[in-house]
Structures are given as structure tokens and as C-alpha cells.
Amino acid sequence: MVAIFTLVATGPLLAQARQIPANTILSDQFETESRIGQLAATRSIVVIYSAEREAGDYLRTWYQALRAKLPTDTPLLAVADLGAVPFFVPKNAIIKQLAADYPDLSILLDWKGSLGTILAAGKSTATATVYAGSRQQMQVTGGYTAEKAGTLLEALKARP
């Protein structure tokens, strides 16, 4: 399988981007709750998101690369879209596996896939998005590259 990743500057599309609803709450594989909607409404945040089968690996790579470069007060959230998981696959099995595979990374679990629509990510594209005041400021798609990370960091610095 060949994967092609592209950098997408979504400036003109940001006006059409949806806000993260203030009541959006997700839990991670350790059952820790994150009020992602409230965070996005009150400060700048970075959301790394993937619906791909290898989501954990994409999320870890992005997380490790960005965490060291972001201001310490900027939340960095890793979110896995699990909306396409078949009903017969036990959620507990997925949670246990994620906890075992990624013990040092909190991965928020989007069981309904609701953020995929908001992030306009598509169901097979990893994204990293800067939010401020609940609105998208910049989004890049695909796997981590230094260029994409630089684009996100510049967008974050441009925020008041």
C-alpha cells in the first residue's frame, strides 16, 4: 500500500470550518475525561486527529514532535476517530490494547466520529489543527514532517 501525504493550507476554507461544540467531552484509554470543547473556546489548542487504522502511530509521531516545540501552556490533544469500528468489536478490547500499546500517550477516543466532520478531515486522513476561540486557524493533513509542523507553529505564534 502506498500512502501519499500532502500539506494543505486551508486559509480560504477556514471561514467554512465548524466550531468544536463547547459541550464536546472525550475520554482517553485511561478513562480520563477532556473537555475539548471548553478548551477550544477559551484558549489556543492543537488537535492531532486520525481515523486511520494506524492512528496511534500517527498520533504518537505528531505528539512527540510537537510537544517539545509548543509553549507549555498550549494543550496538545491526540484524538482517534473510532466511529467506523464495527459494533461487534468490544470497546473494552480496544481500550485495553491502546493502553498497552501507548501507555505514555493519552489518546482521546471519539467513538461516534463526530470530530471528523468538524475537522473536515475525511475518514482516512490524519490531521493536525490549530484552534483558537473554537475556530480552526490552520490545518495540515497527513503524516508528520518538519515543514508541516513549522506551518502549525507559525499559525500558533500568529495568535494574539
Would 143 be classed as within a structural domain?
A: yes
Per-residue model confidence (pLDDT) at position 155: 86
Residue 52, in any domain of the structure: yes
Q: What residues form DSSP beta bridges with 78?
A: 48, 107
Total tally of structural domains belonging to the chain: 1
- Domain membership of residue 121 (yes or no) is yes
**Cell for 132?**
483558537
In a domain, 22, yes or no: yes
* 1 within domain boundaries: no
The set of cell numbers assigned to 35 is: 473537555
Domain assignment present for 4: no
CA 74 → CA 12, 68, 69, 107, distances in Å? 25, 11, 10, 17
User: What local confidence, expressed as pLDDT, does residue 15 receive?
Assistant: 39
Burial class of residue 107 (count of CB atoms within 10 Å of its CB; 0-12, 13-18, 19+): buried
- Say whether pTM exceeds 0.85: no
Sheet holding 127-132, edge to edge: 33-34, 26-28, 107-110, 76-81, 45-50, 127-132, 135-141
Looking at residue 110, what is its pLDDT?
94
Tens-digit pLDDT profile for the chain (160 aa)? 333 323 333 343 443 456 888 899 999 999 999 999 899 888 899 999 988 878 888 899 999 999 989 988 899 999 999 988 999 999 999 999 999 999 999 999 999 988 887 875 556 678 888 888 778 888 898 888 999 999 999 888 876 5
Beta carbons of 104 and 80 less than 8 angstroms apart: no
As a whole number of angstroms, the distance between CA 49 and CA 116 comes to 8
The pLDDT value recorded for residue 10 is 38
Domain, as residue range, for 114: 11-157
Torsion sign over Cα 129, 153, 108, 89: positive
Instruction: Count Cβ atoms within 10 A of the Cβ of residue 155 and give its class: 0-12 exposed, 13-18 middle, 19 or more buried.
Output: buried
Burial (CB count <10 Å: 0-12, 13-18, 19+), residue 51: buried
d(CA 4, CA 43): 32
Residue 6 lies in a domain: no
Q: The CATH number of the domain where 16 resides is what?
A: 3.40.30.10
Please indicate, yes or no, if residue 2 is contained in any of the structural domains: no
